[in-house]
Chain A
Amino acid sequence: MKSNERYEIRFSGSGGQGIITAAVVLADAVGSFDNRHVCQTQSYGPEARGGKSKAEVVISDIPIDYPKALSVDLLLAMTQTACDSYFFDIKPEGLLVVDSSLVLQVPTSRSVSIPFTRIAREDIGRELVANMVALGAVGHFCGQVSLESLEQALLSRVPKGTEQMNSEALQAGIEEAKKIDLNSLPRSVLSDWADEL
C-alpha cells in the first residue's frame, strides 16, 4: 500500500446510486479494519432522490485536519453530470474512473472506463449493486486499502441476505480493474487540455 500524507477520493453520481454507501464502506475498511486515519463526508440537498450526490473519503497516515477533499486523487463519476461537474477538481496526476454505461463523454485520456452498471445488471443480476462493482475498482486503483478489509467492511454493512450478491459485485469490480494497466495512461489529466490552459 502506498504511504501518503493525504489521499482524497470523491465518489459522485446521482441520488439513489448508492454513492454514499460505497464511500462509507471504503472509510470503514480504511479506518476500522486497516487502522488508518480516515474522514468521510458527503453533501446532500433537502430532496431525498435524484440530483447530484457526492461523497468523499480522505485517507492519511497522520490525523486529518480539514475533513473534506481539497484536490482529488481519484474521482469516481457514475453519471455524465457528475463527471462534468467534478472533473476539474482532480489533481494533474490524479485518476478519473467512470461508469462507461452512463458516462459517454470522457474529458481526459487519463481515465478508466468500466461499465459498472452493465456488469451489475448482466453479470450479477441486480443493477442495484453497481456501486459495489465501482467500489471494487476504486479499491484496487487507489492502492490505499487492503482488498480483504474492503470485503470485510462491506459484509459488515450490507443488509442480511444480500452479502453474497454484494461480495460478488465487489470482486467483479476488482477483477475488471486488474485488467487495466494504469502505466499505459498519460501521466497527467492535463495533457489533453494543454492547449486550452
Chain B
Amino acid sequence: MAIVEQQNRVLLQGNEAIVAGALAAGCRFFAGYPITPASEISELLSVKLPQLGGTFIQMEDEIASMGAVIGASLAGTKSLTATSGPGFSLIQENLGYACVAEVPCVIVNVMRGGPSTGLPTSPSQGDVQMARWGTHGDHPIIVLAVSSVSDCFSVTVKAFNLSEKYRSPVIILSDEVVAHTREAVTIPDTEQIRVIDRIAPGVPPEWYTPYAENNRGVPDMAAFGDGYRHHITGLIHDDRGYPTQNTQEIEKFYKRIHGKISKGFQEIQVTKTHLMEDAEIFVIAYGSVARSALKAVRDARAQGVKAGLLQLITLFPFPRKCVDTYLRQCRVVVVPEMNMGQMSREISRVNQADCRIVKHNRIDGRLITPQEILKHLTTV
C-alpha cells in the first residue's frame, strides 16, 4: 500500500509549508502583524526562528512590519512578512521603497475576500492586480501563486531565490483554501534544496559603488555593518545611491531595474501544463482554483473532450510567451477566477490568435468547483 515515498512524511497546512520553505531557503527574520487567514505563518515562525538563531518581531502594524523587513534584509538577513488583504494594503508604501532600493524580501499575501475587512475566513483571488500594481510608480515586481501544500514549500524557496538573485521583492499569493488545507507531504532534505544568496561585493570597501551597472543588471549587495559605504534612499538615485535629477541617470536607473527582470524571464516565468499536448480547449488557472480546474479537465477527457490545463505559478511578469503558444493552439480558453476577471484581462491583452476567452468568475467566498468549470468545457 506504499503509494508515496515514506521518508519525512508530515501532515502540514499550506501556511505551515510556507514556513518550512522559508526556513529551508535561509529566511532568518520575520516581522508581521497577525491576520486571518495568514496568522499560522507568524505563529509558527515565532517558535521556529528563535530556535535557529533568527528573529521574530510582532510589529505595531503592517506598515512597520514592511519597514522592519527592509531593514533586516539590508543588514544581510533574508526576510519575510505574511499578511492578508487589509495588511497587504498597508505594506504597499514600503514595498515601493524595496523596489527602488532593490531590497530582496518576500511578502506572503494569503488572499481573503475584500476590500476592507471583507470576508476574513473566505478564499478570494481579489488581490491579483494589486500585487502587480499596488505600490505606485512604474516598478517591476515578481508575483508567484501557490495551489497546494507542496507548492507552498517549493514556491517559497523559489521566491527567496528569485528575490536574492534579482534584488527584488517577491510576492507570494496564497488564498484561504491553500493556507488551511492539510496534506501529507515529503519535505526534501536540506542538501537537495538549491538555495541562492545575494552576491556580495568582490572589491574592497573603498572601491565599492553600491548601484554600479554590471552585465546581470543586479548590483552586488553589501550588508550594513560590513564596512561598505552604502546609501539607501527611496529617491531615484545614481550609481553611488545618491539622489539624482540627471535625466540620463534617471532613465538608466529605470531601464536597469526593468531590464534585470526581463533578462531573467526564462527562469522567473514558471508555468505547469497538464494534458496540453493535443488540447483543443484549455483552462488557465492559478492558486486553489487550479486544483478544481485539473479535476474538471480530467473529467472532460473522460467524456471525450480534448481539454488541458495551463497552471500559472508566476502571475507577474505575465508569462506571455507560454500563454500565447497555447492561445494559438486552442480554439477556446476558460479562465476561472475567484474575482471579477483580473487575470483574464492579461490573457485578453496578449490574445492575438482570436482564441475565444470564456471567463468564469465566482465571488461569493466559496472555491470554484470542478463541475462549474466542466460545464464550460463540455458546452463551448
Choose one: B148, B184, B292; the contact of A31 (CB below 8 Å): B184
Q: Which segment, of B1-9, B103-111, B238-246, faces chain A?
A: B1-9
Complex interface bits, A5-38 against B, C-beta within 8 A gives 1, otherwise 0:
0000000000000000000100110111011111
Any chain B CB within 8 A of the CB of A41?
yes
Given known contacts A36-B4, A40-B182, A41-B177, is B10 in contact with A66 (CB within 8 Å)?
no
Q: Is the CB of B121 within 8 A of A27?
A: no
Q: Is the CB of A31 within 8 A of B3?
A: no
Any chain B CB within 8 A of the CB of A65?
yes
Complex interface bits, B1-25 against A, C-beta within 8 A gives 1, otherwise 0:
1111110011100000000000000
Q: Is the CB of B370 within 8 A of A35?
A: no
Complex interface bits, A64-87 against B, C-beta within 8 A gives 1, otherwise 0:
111110100000000000000000
Complex interface bits, B186-213 against A, C-beta within 8 A gives 1, otherwise 0:
0000000000000000000000000000
Q: Is the CB of B3 within 8 A of A39?
A: no
Given known contacts A24-B11, A45-B121, A65-B291, is B1 in contact with A36 (CB within 8 Å)?
yes
Closest CB in chain B relative to A112 CB, distance in Å: 26
Q: Is the CB of A41 within 8 A of B181?
A: yes
Closest CB in chain B relative to A141 CB, distance in Å: 19
Q: Is the CB of B181 within 8 A of A67?
A: yes
Any chain B CB within 8 A of the CB of A46?
yes
Chain A residues, Cβ within 8 Å of B11:
24, 27-28, 31-32, 38, 40
Q: Which residue of A lies closest to B292 (CB)?
A: A66
Q: Is the CB of B3 within 8 A of A70?
A: no
Any chain A CB within 8 A of the CB of B346?
no
Q: Which residue of A lies closest to B4 (CB)?
A: A35
Chain A residues, Cβ within 8 Å of B291:
65-67
Q: Is the CB of B3 within 8 A of A36?
A: yes
Chain A residues, Cβ within 8 Å of B184:
27-28, 30-32, 35-38
Complex interface bits, B239-257 against A, C-beta within 8 A gives 1, otherwise 0:
0000000000000000000
What is the CA–CA distance of A24 and B370 in the complex, to the nearest angstrom? 24
Any chain A CB within 8 A of the CB of B331?
no
Q: Is the CB of B369 within 8 A of A46?
A: no
Q: Which residue of A lies closest to B288 (CB)?
A: A67
Q: Is the CB of B369 within 8 A of A70?
A: yes
Chain B residues, Cβ within 8 Å of A88:
none
B307-333 residues with Cβ-Cβ distance < 8 A to A are none
Chain A residues, Cβ within 8 Å of B5:
35
Chain B residues, Cβ within 8 Å of A197:
none
Q: Is the CB of A27 within 8 A of B182?
A: yes
Chain B residues, Cβ within 8 Å of A40:
11, 181-183
Q: Is the CB of A42 within 8 A of B3?
A: no
Q: Is the CB of B181 within 8 A of A46?
A: no
Q: Is the CB of A35 within 8 A of B181?
A: no
Q: Is the CB of B4 within 8 A of A37?
A: yes
Choose one: A24, A45, A61, A68; the contact of B3 (CB below 8 Å): A61
Complex interface bits, B147-172 against A, C-beta within 8 A gives 1, otherwise 0:
01000000000000000000000000
Any chain A CB within 8 A of the CB of B230?
no
Chain A residues, Cβ within 8 Å of B9:
31-32, 35
Chain B residues, Cβ within 8 Å of A61:
3
What is the CA–CA distance of A64 and B4 in the complex, to the nearest angstrom? 13
Q: Is the CB of A24 within 8 A of B120?
A: no
Q: Is the CB of A44 within 8 A of B295?
A: no
Chain B residues, Cβ within 8 Å of A70:
369-371
Closest CB in chain B relative to A147 CB, distance in Å: 14
Q: Is the CB of A66 within 8 A of B121?
A: no
5 contacts between A and B (CB under 8 A): A27-B184, A32-B184, A35-B6, A36-B1, A42-B180
Known: A40-B182, A67-B181, A70-B370. 9 other contacts (CB 8 A): A32-B10, A32-B184, A37-B183, A39-B181, A44-B121, A65-B291, A65-B298, A66-B294, A68-B367
